[in-house]
Amino acid sequence: LEKPQPRRLTILGSTGSIGVNTLDVVNQLGGREAFEIGALTGNGNIELLAEQARTIGAKLAVTADESQYMTLKDALAGSGVDVAAGRSGLEEAASLDADWVMAAIVGTAGLGPTLTAAARGADIALANKECLVSAGQLFVEAVKAGGGRLIPVDSEHSAIFQCLDNSQRPALERIILTASGGPFRTFTREQMAGVTAATARTHPNWSMGLKISVGSASMFNKALEMVEAKHLFDVAPEQIEVVVHPQSIVHSMVGYSDGSVIAQLGAPDMRTAIGYALTYPKRPALNVDRLDFTKLSRLDFEAPDETRFPALRLARTALTRGGLQAAVMNAAEETAFNAFVEERIGFLDMADIVEAVMERLIDCGAASTIAEVFAADAEARQVAGEIIAADEKTA
Ligand code: NAD
Ligand code: MG
């Protein structure tokens, strides 16, 4: 039985890159005439959050930053939009009666609220891949238990979701994630050693938030996406391939036992994947660039280099070890990313730190509850912090 077209929406992380694109899609599909917006949430950018909430007529606006509560309240005075802040505010946003929730907070900060939305049966449009990397099968089971659907928004996973025919599931051989290779695709390790966050964030094809941009440069984003793919599509680690495709036109592919490969192509624009998740199983009419094949000069594919980009090797390690190793990798990566942005460590140190944390916590086991996931996440952050501090001392 097909669910009715979702009309009540909540956007967790509306002020970010995915959030802004989601509101653009919502507006393209009729805006407040067509949708009822439950909650919008943000963190530091109060002005944008308030403007979004007023314009779209949200019921509730939430800033994760408690110290900004009064600023947000003032900004929305007289608008009729309710205001909340902090962790409890995010929980309130996730609990609102929206039947479609865009999970677009960055990092593990999104896990709690996304699980809350999942538990009450909302359809989860998942951009916040860290939820799945960290909590893995427990996250998938939480969505299932709630009764909602889990629809990927990450462009690669949306592509696979669009290509995967479940009636042909027994013939599924492999999924092939494409990776742009990021701004340092052709850099030597020596060149990478000196780069700053400002250069690392300049992605050749996509305009995105800071963490995922740096993650594209280090290929930790692809590492997270390998784990994301395992849980979304229930495939074995050896069925997940990565190929570098610098033009970001082929968003990912599915290979079958007859040698066929099905690909999804499109302009590098997240609104296609967001629109698909919002209207699934239908397709929306979107004002995005169309591919002109006569103008695409070429599509290149190359093998990823795991020596220059150790993140891919670490993801494979996490996948084969299983259990909480991916949660550990994810938390260590977030900690190392923060230290890199603060210029406390270099670009190449990020992978070294993640690997060291994974080795240190190799016996972390598997989780049977979300609380155990949060505990492993906290422990990995602490160990990563200690390694970073020790390195700073000796530097
Ligand atoms: P972003 O940094 O642009 O936005 C993040 C959002 O989360 C903002 O609304 C911010 O206010 C909020 N936020 C930040 N810290 C928070 C905290 N501690 N608590 C609550 N809210 C907080 O990030 P983005 O690029 O939009 O990415 C969001 C998620 O989507 C990430 O998981 C990313 O990997 C994924 N994703 C992004 C893209 C993209 O094109 N940007 C593509 C695929 C997947
Ligand atoms: Mg992606």
Statement: residue 3 has pLDDT above 60: no
Ligand 1 centroid – CA 72 distance (Å) = 20
Percent of the chain exceeding pLDDT 90 equals 93
Q: What are phi and psi of 264, to 5 degrees?
A: -115, 130
Statement: residue 140 has pLDDT above 60: yes
Mutational pocket test of ligand 1: of 105, 126, 248, the residue with most ligand atoms within 8 Å of the beta carbon:
105
Q: Is 43 annotated as a binding residue?
A: no
Question: Bridge-partner residues for 125, per DSSP?
Answer: 102, 151
| Residue pLDDT, tens place only, 157-200 | 999 999 999 999 999 999 999 999 999 999 999 999 999 998 88
Q: Is 245 annotated as a binding residue?
A: no
Q: If pLDDT is split at 50, 70 and 90, which confidence band does 146 have?
A: very high
Statement: residue 5 has pLDDT above 80: no
The CA distance from 198 to 202, in Å, is 7
Cα distances (angstroms) measured from residue 236 to each of 146, 152, 154, 172, 196: 25, 19, 20, 11, 36
Q: What are phi and psi of 96, to 5 degrees?
A: -55, 155
For residue 206, the Cα-to-chain-centroid distance in whole angstroms is 14
Ligand 1 centroid – CA 209 distance (Å) = 6
Q: Is 105 annotated as a binding residue?
A: no
Residue with tokens 């391939």: 241
Mutational pocket test of ligand 1: of 177, 212, 251, the residue with most ligand atoms within 8 Å of the beta carbon:
212
Mutational pocket test of ligand 1: of 106, 111, 124, 156, the residue with most ligand atoms within 8 Å of the beta carbon:
106
- Give every strand in the sheet of 240-244, ordered side by side: 240-244, 172-179, 250-256, 261-265
DSSP state of 137: H
Give the predicted TM-score (pTM) of the model.
Answer: 0.97
Percent of the chain exceeding pLDDT 70 equals 98
| Residue pLDDT, tens place only, 237-248 | 999 999 999 999
Ligand 2 centroid – CA 91 distance (Å) = 26
Q: If pLDDT is split at 50, 70 and 90, which confidence band does 74 have?
A: very high
Statement: residue 6 has pLDDT above 80: no
Tell which atom from ligand 1 comes closest to the C-alpha of 19.
26
Ligand 1 site: residues with CB under 6 angstroms? 13-19, 42-43, 64, 104-106, 109, 127-130, 154, 206, 208-210, 212, 270
The predicted complex's ipTM stands at 0.99
Tell which atom from ligand 1 comes closest to the C-alpha of 105.
7
Tell which atom from ligand 1 comes closest to the C-alpha of 20.
26
DSSP state of 106: -
Ligand 2 centroid – CA 288 distance (Å) = 18
The CA distance from 302 to 306, in Å, is 12
- Residue 322 has which token pair? 């299983």
Q: Is 107 annotated as a binding residue?
A: no
| Residue pLDDT, tens place only, 263-317 | 999 999 999 999 999 999 999 999 999 999 999 889 999 999 999 999 999 999 9
Statement: residue 393 has pLDDT above 90: no
Q: Is 97 annotated as a binding residue?
A: no
Ligand 2 centroid – CA 297 distance (Å) = 23
User: Taking the chain, what is the end-to-end CA distance rounded to the nearest angstrom?
Assistant: 62
Sign of the four-CA dihedral 314, 328, 94, 370: positive
- Residue 295 has which token pair? 């103008």
Tell which atom from ligand 1 comes closest to the C-alpha of 210.
2
Q: Are 374 and 227 in contact (CB under 8 A)?
A: no
- In this prediction, residues 128-145 reach a mean pLDDT of 98
Full set of structural domains in the chain with CATH = 8-152 (3.40.50.720), 155-267+288-305 (no CATH), 322-395 (1.10.1740.10)
Statement: residue 1 has pLDDT above 70: no
What is residue 98's predicted lDDT score, i.e. its pLDDT? 83
Q: 210-218 and 220-233 helices cross at what angle (nearest 10)?
A: 100
Statement: residue 383 has pLDDT above 80: yes
What is residue 394's predicted lDDT score, i.e. its pLDDT? 84
The CA distance from 74 to 23, in Å, is 23
Q: Is 21 annotated as a binding residue?
A: no
Count of other CB atoms within 10 angstroms of residue 36? 17
Statement: residue 94 has pLDDT above 90: yes
Residue nearest to atom 34 of ligand 1 (CA): 212
Question: Bridge-partner residues for 340, per DSSP?
Answer: none
Kindly report the CA angle at 73 between 71 and 78, in degrees rounded to 5? 130
